[in-house]
Amino acid sequence: LALPIVPGAVLLRGFASDRAPKLLEALEGVLAASPWRHMITPGGFRMSVAMTNCGPLGWVSDRTGYRYDAIDPGNGKPWPAMPQAFRELAGAAASAAGFDKFKPDACLVNRYEPGARLSLHQDRDEHDYGHPIVSVSLGLPAVFLFGGPQRVDKSMRLPLVHGDVVVWGGPARLHHHGILPLKDGDHPSTGRCRINLTFRKAG
Ligand code: MD3
Ligand code: FE
């Protein structure tokens, strides 16, 4: 079931439901090598969202800025490999949305506990905005905020639940977006949190 949100953005409701157990199992392996951490923004704030990465490149933030880096600053080693289950899901979702041969080189994993939020921002750290971004929601539901190319543009609210996949490309790629503070709850597959996988071709 593919629902267009705005031109270039497609919601695949429940696309990852069947594969969620395999994705969460593979995530355990990633976390064993590169555990959750709260990054610091260039402004000096600790992010409420906990993060890790897998694949050749990982998104990092610290006092010096945002960037993609091949090395996990937490352990000085390359980020763990992107599990095959991750790569297959990202490719299948991109195809279903009309983007052929999507080969992500970065997977940012975000963990939201109750109260955690991601304020309105643009994703501008990637080399080529022509590639889509595939995002997978697991666990507790969240309200996604989706605005326009300008930060002041009116934003719409979109509830995202366990198994939902959204593919963002074309004109939607540079729109502002964020996540409202997570409501408390308990999910059978993740417990008291929401996990979001974001696949990108960053380099
Ligand atoms: C729309 N993550 O990691 S995923 C991020 O749920 C991020 O954790 C949110 O925004 C999360 O940067 C939202 C959906 C998403 C991801 C990237 C986008 C939507 C996007 C890039 C452009 C437009
Ligand atoms: Fe983003």
Helices assigned H by DSSP within 34-110: 84-96
Domain extent, residue 107, equals 2-200
CA dihedral 109, 115, 121, 122 (to 10 degrees): 20
Tell me the average pLDDT across 118-135: 93
Tell me the per-residue pLDDT of 28-63, one tens digit each, with 9 for 90 and over.
999 999 999 999 999 999 999 999 999 999 999 999
Within 8 A by CB and 6+ apart from 193, the residues are 111, 112, 113, 114, 139, 140, 182, 187
- Reported ipTM: the value is 0.96
CATH number for the domain harbouring residue 185: 2.60.120.590
Q: Specify the number of domains making up the chain.
A: 1
Q: What is the DSSP string of 57-71?
A: BEEEEETTEEEEESE
Calculate how far, in angstroms, residue 178's C-alpha sits from the geometric centre of ligand 2.
7
User: Which pLDDT belongs to residue 33?
Assistant: 98
Tell me the per-residue pLDDT of 138-188, one tens digit each, with 9 for 90 and over.
999 999 999 998 989 999 999 999 999 999 988 889 999 999 999 999 999
Name the residue type at position 163. G
Tell me the per-residue pLDDT of 14-26, one tens digit each, with 9 for 90 and over.
999 999 999 999 9
Report the pocket of ligand 1 as residue ranges, CB < 6 Å. 108, 110, 118, 123, 133, 135, 166, 168, 172-173, 175, 177, 179, 196, 198
* Residue 154 token pair: 């009116």
The atom of ligand 1 lying closest to the CA of 177 is 1
Name the residue type at position 75. N
Beta carbons of 163 and 15 less than 8 angstroms apart? yes
What is the rounded distance in angstroms from the CA atom of residue 184 to the CA atom of residue 22? 25
Calculate how far, in angstroms, residue 188's C-alpha sits from the geometric centre of ligand 1.
24
